[in-house]
Amino acid sequence: MSTIEKALQKQREKNQQESAEQAQAETQDTAQASSSPAASATQETQPREQPAPAPAAPKALITIDQQELREKGLITDSTERQKIKDEFRYIKRKLLNNAFGQAAQNLENGNLVMVSSGKPNEGKTFISINLALSIALEQDKTVLLIDADVIRPSISAELNISPRKGLVEYLLGEVPNVSEVIYNTSISNLKIIPAGEPHHLTSELLASDKMRQLTQELANRYSDRMVIFDSPPLIEVNESQVLANLMGQALVVVEESQSKIADIQKAVDSLDEDLAIGFVINKAVQTQKDMYGYYGY
C-alpha cells in the first residue's frame, strides 16, 4: 500500500470516529432534555380534560296552603261559593279586557298591572294576592305575581314562602336570567317572583334601566300572561312613579274612611295619563246592598 493510500485510509478512520462521537453526544443531549425541569413543565401544562359542570338543581315548588288562604280571607281554588271571588271576578274582567280584549289595542303593555296605594297599610298586598289568585282560576290564563315592594315586602310573609332569591338579586345582576327567579306554585296557573333579600339600593333598583328592560321582556316575551306588580306606595316612594309609567294599567287601593281625597289625587296625578287607572275600595263595611268594591276606569 502506497503512502498516499495509507494517508487516505487514516483520514477515513478519523472521520468515522468523529461521526460516531457526534452521534453519541446528540443522543445524550436528547435524553437530558427529556428529563429536564423545562420538559417536565411542558408536559404538565398540557391541557387536561375538564369535568362537565354539574346540572343546576331544580327550583323548589312553592306550596300554597289553601286552608291558610281561607283563614286570611284570601281566594281559594275550592268550588265553594265565596263572596270575595265574585268581587274579584268583577275586577279582573275589566283588567283582562284591557290586556287582551277590545281595549287592548289602545294600551301599551296592557298585561302589566301595578297595584299600589297612596300610603302604606291601605291593603294593596291583600288586593294584589287576591287578584292574582282570581286570575289563576281562569282556564286559559297564567298570572305572574311580583313582589315589587322591595322596601317592605309582604307577599312571601302572607303566603308563607321561605326566603329565596328574587327581584332584588335579578336587578343587581346576581341572577343572570329572570326565569331563575320565577317560581312555580302548587296553584297551576300562578307563578311568583319574590322580592329577595333587602339591599341599601332597593328604591333605586325600581327606577333602574334593568327594571325597564325587565318590564319590556315581561310585556313582550310573556305577552299572553297577566303580570301583577305589588308595588310601593305612590306618595312615599318616588321610584314607584317611575315604575308605574312602565305599566299598562294601574290599580289604586283606597281604604274606606281612612284614605284622604288629597292623597288619592296626589297619587293619581303622579301617573302617566296614558295608563288605564282603576280604583279598589278596601276594608269597606258590608251593607245590605253588597256593592262591589271597585269603581271605574
177 touches 259 (CB < 8 A): no
Residue keyed to cell 332584588: 168
pLDDT in tens, 58-73: 678 999 999 999 999 8
pLDDT in tens, 255-264: 887 788 888 8
Closest C-alpha among 205, 229, 275, 60 to residue 131 = 229
- Asked if residue 60 is part of any domain, the answer here is no
144 touches 191 (CB < 8 A): yes
Q: Domain check: are 119 and 198 in the same one?
A: yes
- Asked if residue 59 is part of any domain, the answer here is no
Higher pLDDT, 43 or 153: 153
- Asked if residue 11 is part of any domain, the answer here is yes
Q: Domain check: are 174 and 220 in the same one?
A: yes
Q: Domain check: are 127 and 157 in the same one?
A: yes
Q: Domain check: are 72 and 34 in the same one?
A: no
- Asked if residue 156 is part of any domain, the answer here is yes
Q: Domain check: are 95 and 230 in the same one?
A: yes
- Please report, for the domain that includes residue 113, its CATH number: 3.40.50.300
What's the rounded Cα separation, in Å, for the pair 151 and 116?
A: 13
Mean pLDDT throughout 146-150? 94
pLDDT in tens, 87-118: 999 999 999 999 999 888 888 999 999 999 98
- Asked if residue 57 is part of any domain, the answer here is no
- Asked if residue 223 is part of any domain, the answer here is yes
Q: Domain check: are 24 and 156 in the same one?
A: no
Q: Domain check: are 278 and 239 in the same one?
A: yes
Q: Domain check: are 24 and 155 in the same one?
A: no
User: Domain total for the chain?
Assistant: 2
Query: Which of 109-118, 202-211, 270-279 reaches the highest mean pLDDT?
Result: 109-118
- Asked if residue 50 is part of any domain, the answer here is no
What's the rounded Cα separation, in Å, for the pair 111 and 252?
A: 16
- Parent domain of 26: 3-44
Q: Average pLDDT of the chain?
A: 81
Instruction: Specify the pLDDT at position 263.
Output: 83
What's the rounded Cα separation, in Å, for the pair 248 and 108?
A: 6
Q: Domain check: are 33 and 169 in the same one?
A: no
Q: Hey, how many other C-beta atoms are within 10 angstroms of the C-beta on 84? A: 15
Q: What percentage of the chain carries pLDDT values higher than 70?
A: 75
Instruction: Specify the pLDDT at position 129.
Output: 97
pLDDT for 27 beyond 80? no
Which ranges constitute the DSSP H helices of 173-237? 202-206, 209-220
Q: Domain check: are 147 and 26 in the same one?
A: no
Q: Domain check: are 214 and 246 in the same one?
A: yes
114 touches 247 (CB < 8 A): yes
Band (79; pLDDT cuts 50, 70, 90): low
> What Å distances lie between residue 253 and 68, 174, 203, 244, CA to CA?
23, 33, 21, 14
pLDDT in tens, 167-192: 999 999 999 999 999 999 999 999 99
Instruction: Specify the pLDDT at position 133.
Output: 96
Q: Domain check: are 20 and 75 in the same one?
A: no
- Asked if residue 192 is part of any domain, the answer here is yes
